[in-house]
Amino acid sequence: MASRKLLLLPGDGIGPEAMAEVRKLIAAINENFGSGFETEEGLVGGSAYDAHGAAISDADMTKAMAADAVLFGAVGGPKWDAVPYDVRPEAGLLRLRKDMQLFANLRPAICYPALAASSSLKPEVVEGLDILIVRELTGGVYFGEPKEIIDLGNGQKRGIDTQVYDTFEIERIAGVAFELARTRQNRVTSMEKRNVMKSGVLWNEVVTQAHKAKYSDVKLDHMLADAGGMQLVRWPKQFDVIVTDNLFGDMLSDVAAMLTGSLGMLPSASLGAPDAITGKRKALYEPVHGSAPDIAGQGIANPIAMIASFAMCLRYSFNMAAEADRLEAAISAVLNEGLRTKDILSAGMTEVGTAQMGDAIISKFLALSA
Ligand code: NAD
Ligand code: IPM
Ligand code: MN
């Protein structure tokens, strides 16, 4: 059997609570199907800072580089608000993305039928929703230089972030979006702000050229990112695949999360380029949500985003599409039975905690696999 080495980085806040459910799931899959997943554990975020003074240690980075896939919980929290910028919890996640060259972040927003009424939008706006945001993850204003606060010497300071994109970065993320669109409804909407940003002008140009050269069978539209945000809330079903930069993708995916009922529902996959010889990609799977300090430690966090991120891991890192489909079907079935964590609770449904939700999904998954 091919190697199946996973590195688990639970992180902070609700990260470890959600990861506990995936750990149980992995154990159940190994026990029932002999899948042979080997897991290692590491620290990231505030928990790594507390242990090593860095948001991820070099030793854990080495483990991440060697793993077939990394499962990431969440990082951050008020406890670390005052730590130096370079070692703040979020820096651990950014280092993982940059060093592993995970340039393609796939954030599917699917509204499960049972949750159409849980969204803050009207059910007819969200029911049947199935869109995919493809976010560029290793460039743009997150990593552009200079990035600093300078003292102007007159009692004023200047904060500088730099938005930079090179042709190859836009080309490769556009390629991922077009390829994925071919497996779906064959439509891509590219979002930038070419009306005010030079990087937006280049983004638009490169996506248009890539389309013309290699993907003219896919329907391509362009939208200004602010209007795109509005359209996502007005009528999200007009979209199939959205491709956008690092910062717009961050914001638009939180917006998209609420279409599905809760931030606690949205999974993501962060992928690198396939290796020229082995074809294997570096990959990290993480929920879109953060460490949710407001509910951490209460056992009420929704573990579905984390579990659905593991489904993406099965699909993209281990070629286990049937198992991934079954895991998503198990999530849907448990929701159909009326089980709800607090964030997606509605009248007449049964409120459960993190562990009960995890257990229910695991037993449904095993039953569907029998
Ligand atoms: P957040 O995503 O942690 O929380 C936003 C809101 O959504 C909160 O009310 C929270 O309770 C709720 N929520 C989020 N996930 C939930 C879940 N699984 N179940 C139920 N409710 C859930 O965002 P924030 O409060 O803006 O950020 C908190 C910290 O997390 C910050 O330090 C931020 O930098 C960090 N963060 C980390 C990641 C990550 O690790 N990938 C992502 C986003 C934010
Ligand atoms: C996300 C988060 C991260 C981001 C933070 C924690 C660095 O908000 O993954 O959506 O901004 O990319
Ligand atoms: Mn975010």
Residue 252: which H helix or E strand, with range?
helix 246-259
Tell me what pLDDT residue 118 has. 83
Q: Distance (Å, rounded) from C-alpha 267 to C-alpha 141? A: 23
CATH architecture of 113-271: 3-Layer(aba) Sandwich (3.40)
**Residue pointed to by tokens 């497996």:** 183
Of 43, 87, 262, 291, best ligand 1 pocket probe by most atoms within 8 Å of the beta carbon: 291
Which atom of ligand 2 is found nearest the CA of 246?
12
Angle between the N-to-C axes of helices 321-336 and 354-369, in degrees from 0 to 180, rounded to the nearest 10: 120
Asked if residues 199 and 164 have their Cβ atoms less than 8 Å apart, the reply is yes
Q: Distance (Å, rounded) from C-alpha 90 to C-alpha 78? A: 12
Fold agreement between 1-103+278-370 and 113-271 = yes
Beta strands in 126-226 (DSSP E): 130-136, 148-151, 157-160, 187-192, 219-224
**Residue pointed to by tokens 């199935």:** 130
Tell me what pLDDT residue 3 has. 78
Q: Is the peptide bond before 146 cis (omega within 30 degrees of 0)?
A: yes
**In tens digits, what is the pLDDT along the chain, a chain of 370 residues?**
567 999 999 999 999 999 999 999 999 999 999 999 999 999 999 999 999 999 999 999 999 999 999 999 999 999 999 999 999 999 999 999 999 999 999 999 999 989 998 888 999 999 999 999 999 999 999 999 999 999 999 999 999 999 999 999 999 999 999 999 999 999 999 999 999 999 999 999 999 999 999 999 999 999 999 999 999 999 999 999 999 999 999 999 999 998 998 999 999 999 999 999 999 999 999 999 999 999 999 999 999 999 999 999 999 999 999 999 999 999 999 999 999 999 999 999 999 999 999 999 999 999 999 8
Tell me what pLDDT residue 2 has. 67
Q: Where are the domains of the chain?
A: 1-103+278-370, 113-271
**CB-ligand 1 contact for 75 (6 Å cutoff):** yes
Asked if residues 305 and 327 have their Cβ atoms less than 8 Å apart, the reply is no
pTM here?
Answer: 0.97
Q: Distance (Å, rounded) from C-alpha 285 to C-alpha 6? A: 11
Which positions ≥6 away from 215 have C-beta within 8 Å? 175, 178, 181, 182
The closest residue, in CA terms, to atom 7 on ligand 2 is 90
Which atom of ligand 1 is found nearest the CA of 254?
2
Asked if residues 252 and 299 have their Cβ atoms less than 8 Å apart, the reply is no
Active-site residue 193, yes or no?
A: yes
Superfamily grouping for domain 1-103+278-370: Isopropylmalate Dehydrogenase (3.40.718.10)
Q: Distance (Å, rounded) from C-alpha 231 to C-alpha 71? A: 32
Beta strands at 187-192 and 157-160: parallel, antiparallel or unpaired: unpaired
**CB-ligand 1 contact for 286 (6 Å cutoff):** yes
Catalytic residue among 60, 63, 112, 142: 142
The CA-atom distances, in angstroms, between 202 and each of 62, 178, 194, 206, 207 are 35, 18, 8, 6, 8
Q: What is the predicted ipTM?
A: 0.98
